[in-house]
């Protein structure tokens, strides 16, 4: 079987796809545990893996690994199912939403934040009869 060379564009999220449900830095421990669970590669040996091989292994993780279970919780969008989740799952979901919000805040330029806030203030003023 011929090996395929990986390009950096292979790991980008296409524009119409939802946000990825894991972050390599945020989920480092879960990724280590999942690679050990599924492939039997201990964390000490994982540091020696070349990045393309590591990325393939992470991309192939199944849902019965620690990361797989957490990703399943993060990806749930049904409000009824979210309300029925236990405290662990709700905490995981809330932590991920907070992480996404922090990351968006860190990557959004201050001028864009100011424009968004101005738009929100104008909408609120219009809604409540104030001067926009």
pLDDT digits (tens, 9 = 90+) for 15-66: 555 678 999 999 999 999 999 999 999 999 999 999 999 999 999 999 999 9
Torsion of CA 27, 28, 29, 34, to 10 degrees: 80
Residues 6+ apart with CB under 8 A from 46: 32, 35, 36, 54
Q: What's the confidence (pLDDT) of residue 130?
A: 72
Q: What's the confidence (pLDDT) of residue 61?
A: 93
pTM listed for this prediction: 0.71
- Separation between Cα atoms, residue 95 and residue 90, nearest integer Å: 9
Residue 11 scores a pLDDT above 80: no
């Amino acid at each position: 079987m011929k090996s395929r060379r990986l390009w950096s564009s292979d790991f980008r999220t296409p524009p119409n796809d939802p946000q990825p449900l894991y972050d390599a830095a945020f989920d480092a421990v879960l990724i280590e545990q999942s690679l050990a669970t599924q492939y039997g590669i201990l964390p000490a040996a994982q540091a020696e893996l070349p990045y393309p091989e590591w990325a393939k292994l992470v991309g192939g993780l199944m849902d019965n690994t620690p990361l797989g279970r957490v990703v399943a919780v993060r990806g749930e969008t049904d409000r009824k199912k979210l309300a029925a989740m236990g405290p662990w799952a709700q905490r995981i979901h809330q932590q991920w939403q907070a992480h996404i919000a922090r990351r968006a805040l860190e990557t959004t330029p201050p001028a864009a934040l100011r424009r968004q806030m101005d738009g929100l203030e104008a909408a609120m003023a219009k809604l409540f009869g104030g001067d926009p």
